[in-house]
Structure formats: C-alpha cells, structure tokens
Amino acid sequence: MKRTLAVLLCAGLLVCPAAAAAADSPQVEAAAAVLMEKETGTVLCEQNAHDKREPASVTKIMTLLLVMEALDEGRMALTDQVTVSAHAASMGGSQVYLKEGEQMSAEELIKAVAVVSGNDAAVALAEHIAGSEEAFVARMNERAAQLGMADTNFVNCTGLPAAGHLTSAYDIALMSRELILNHPDIRQYSTIWMDTIRGGQFQLANTNKLVRYFEGCTGLKTGSTDSALYCLSATAEREGMELIAVVLGSPTSAQRFSAAQALLTYGFANYTLVDVRPDQAIPPVAVSLGVTDTVQPVLANGSRILLEKSQLNQITTSLQLSEDVEAPVEQGQKLGELTVSAGDTRLCTIPLVADQAVARITVPGLFLRLVRNLFLAG
C-alpha cells in the first residue's frame, strides 16, 4: 500500500510531511482502500485509491450528508412526517419494509438509513428533500463535484446496482470526512448498536460490527452487493484524532472489517495530532505611520499538526519575523512564519499573521502624537 502525506493548510490545521517513514502500512484484502485523517484530510496510506468501483450502500454517506445539510439549513426537521411513495416502498435489498402511504418521522428514517442501510428509507428522505429521487441524485453529483470527487458518478441514492454508478475509495473518504467533520451529530445515529422504530415494533441492529467491537468507532457505513462485494467506510476516534478507513471490494464481510480495523490500528499506532508552540514568546512587530506603534503576530489558522509519533521528541521551532511594517496593516496580513523541524529535517512552516488591523495615522493624528510626545518629554 502506497503511503502519502500531503502538505496543506486546511480547517485550521497544518499538515506536515513526516521526516521519517512510519512503519510499513498494512496490505489489506480489498480491491481498493484509503486511510485518511479527518481534520487535515491527509491520506496516510492507500491502495488503488482512485480505481472506479461500485460502492454499494456506502453511497448512502452522500445521502446522509445531504440530509444533515438540509437539517442544518432548516429545509427539513427531525420531526417532519414523511409520507412514503410507491417508488420508495418498491426498493429491494436492505429495507425497513415501508408501505406506500405510511408516515414516519425524518429521524426514524435517518436511523433506518444509518443503522440498517434501509434503501426504502433513503429514497423516502431523498423525495422529501428534493421532490424526487432523480432531483436528489442530481444534488448528490453537484455536491460530489464541490468536494472534488472526480472519480464519482451517482445514479441513485441507495447504491443498488446501476450502470455507471461508480466512485473510488478516495472519493468515499472525501465525503465521509465532510460528513463527520461538519456534521458531528451524525454520530447520534452512526454509533447506534441496537434500536427500534415504529414505536418499538421494528428492531434495528447496526450492520457495522466495528461499532461494538472496535475501540473508539464512530461509524460510518457498510455496503455489499454481488458485484461490489463487501465495502465499508469506518471511522474511529482516539486521543482527539479521528480516522477514516475506506475498504472496497473485500471478498467477505469479515475481511472488510478486518481490513478496516488493520488500517485504523495502523493509523492510531503511528500518527498523532499535536499542538505546536514557538520555543519563545512571539515579539510584536513595529508599525510605522500607524495609529499604534506595534502589531502582534499570531499563528495563522491554529497550530495543530499531524506527524508521526516517532518524531514527537524531535520537534523544534524557529521564528522568522519582519522587523517592521508600514501602515495600514490588515488583520491576517503575513508578518513572518514559524518553521517546524524534526531533528535536521524541516517539516513545514506556519504563517504568522497580524492579530488585528492597524490603520494609517492621519495628518492631524500625527500632529497630536508629536505634541503628546513633546509634552511627555518635557
């Protein structure tokens, strides 16, 4: 499995490339796989990451993402009563046996999708949000494009076999990250082990066995068909770091869970997120012709970095700052950078920016400052 670590500034975190290779990443029994760290979006290891494959019900991650966005934007509510159409009720495969004309709350339908992968529940939600499954699928593809999912084309909202319904392990990691990063409430459903709907009359048991057996598991979605084989996007969090393990095309259900577990265990064993701070206090930068004489530099977008655990005791930092700047100074204007190193290897740089704006002093203001300085000198 090829290992990659990208350098990017994203979501308030800086991703630093590792100074030394981590332990060899696991080879897994799957046609394709990806391990991604949530906050930075860094791919820690990959196997045929961009191969276009059938995702089966892992498709429903995008369905759930659009549902959570509709909830956050107030376009639907958990208490909405959704009336089941004939089309939704006709779905085969995994289902909660909805009947045409039956009404169920949006929250129970979300449970049915997240816990038991109900195809009928997914279509009912899609129709409730967009008016038809076709319109909802168009939104799925639009959202995929926005997320940079270049390997993806959705044909339905369920993952049932359909010509041209394809994605990749990398793209699944992207949409999984978007869901868990910006909609953490999905955990209320993706971590359910057993529950009921219809007033306790219909039992739900999670198809993702890692929810019960893997420490820190937070979800996310299973899938399987005869052609896609066994698929999974598994998420787990330990010590403040959440990882996404995507497995496509495993020969058996047990092998997909073993593969995801191996990837997650590797990630937690070898990587960590740490807060980097300067080895010294950051001094203010002089401002000429400003309403204030100095401006304070601060670390841009936070200072958490992803690195290999083997580097923890080797981290050092150094400051490079402008001696002075001329007003006006904009808030967020770059004033220097903090270099992060491990031993003799430079890992990355974090910009240092102005914590506030400094306006240029006016002529009357400059006159008053001169008078005040003369008065104080006297």
Same domain membership, residue 313 and residue 266? no
The answer to whether the beta carbons of residues 40 and 240 sit under 8 Å apart is no
CA–centroid distance for 198 within its chain: 32
Same domain membership, residue 143 and residue 220? yes
Q: Look at residue 2 in the predicted model and tell me its pLDDT.
A: 42
Q: Of the candidates 273, 306, 329, which is a domain's last residue?
A: 273
As for how many domains the chain has, the answer is: 2
Same domain membership, residue 238 and residue 113? yes
3, part of any domain:
no
Same domain membership, residue 90 and residue 222? yes
Q: Look at residue 16 in the predicted model and tell me its pLDDT.
A: 41
Task: State the catalytic residue, choosing from 25, 117, 190, 233.
Answer: 117
Q: Look at residue 187 in the predicted model and tell me its pLDDT.
A: 98
pLDDT at residue 3 greater than cutoff 50: no
Q: Look at residue 108 in the predicted model and tell me its pLDDT.
A: 98
pLDDT at residue 355 greater than cutoff 80: yes
Q: Which residues are registered as beta bridge partners of 37?
A: 243
Mean pLDDT of 248-268: 98
280, part of any domain:
no
Q: What percent of the chain has pLDDT over 90?
A: 77
**What would the two tokens of residue 352 be?**
């240092």
pLDDT at residue 10 greater than cutoff 50: no
Measured distance CA(26)–CA(46) in Å, rounded = 10
Same domain membership, residue 348 and residue 268? no
The answer to whether the beta carbons of residues 168 and 49 sit under 8 Å apart is yes
Q: Look at residue 15 in the predicted model and tell me its pLDDT.
A: 43
1, part of any domain:
no
The answer to whether the beta carbons of residues 247 and 18 sit under 8 Å apart is no
Same domain membership, residue 346 and residue 221? no
Show the domain range for 60. 9-273
Query: In this structure, what CATH number is given to the domain that contains residue 75?
Result: 3.40.710.10
Same domain membership, residue 121 and residue 54? yes
13: confidence class by pLDDT, cuts 50, 70, 90: very low
The answer to whether the beta carbons of residues 98 and 140 sit under 8 Å apart is no
Q: Of the candidates 273, 304, 339, which is a domain's last residue?
A: 273
Same domain membership, residue 344 and residue 260? no
Active site residue 60: yes
Same domain membership, residue 249 and residue 119? yes
Q: Look at residue 53 in the predicted model and tell me its pLDDT.
A: 98
Tell me: the pLDDT tens digits for 288-342?
A: 998 999 999 998 876 788 999 998 888 889 999 999 999 999 999 999 999 998 8
Measured distance CA(262)–CA(333) in Å, rounded = 44
Mean pLDDT of 70-93: 97
279, part of any domain:
no
Q: In what helix (H) or strand (E) does residue 297 lie, and over which residues does it extend?
A: strand 297-299
Q: Look at residue 375 in the predicted model and tell me its pLDDT.
A: 63
Active site residue 117: yes
Angle at 47 between CA 220 and CA 345, to 5 degrees: 100
Q: Of the candidates 253, 273, 293, which is a domain's last residue?
A: 273
131, part of any domain:
yes
Same domain membership, residue 241 and residue 289? no
Mean pLDDT of 252-263: 98
C-alpha Rg value of the chain to the nearest Å:
26
Same domain membership, residue 231 and residue 295? no
4, part of any domain:
no
Same domain membership, residue 157 and residue 15? yes
Query: In this structure, what CATH number is given to the domain that contains residue 345?
Result: 2.60.410.10
Better-scored residue on pLDDT, 56 or 19? 56
Q: Which residues are registered as beta bridge partners of 14?
A: 9, 305
Tell me: the pLDDT tens digits for 40-64?
A: 999 999 999 999 999 999 999 999 9
Q: Look at residue 21 in the predicted model and tell me its pLDDT.
A: 41
Q: Look at residue 14 in the predicted model and tell me its pLDDT.
A: 40
126, part of any domain:
yes
Q: In what helix (H) or strand (E) does residue 62 lie, and over which residues does it extend?
A: helix 60-72
356, part of any domain:
yes
Task: State the catalytic residue, choosing from 57, 85, 250, 341.
Answer: 57
**What would the two tokens of residue 296 be?**
């304070």
The answer to whether the beta carbons of residues 123 and 91 sit under 8 Å apart is yes
Task: State the catalytic residue, choosing from 38, 60, 209, 221.
Answer: 60
Q: Look at residue 303 in the predicted model and tell me its pLDDT.
A: 73
Lowest mean pLDDT among 49-58, 120-129, 244-253, 368-377: 368-377
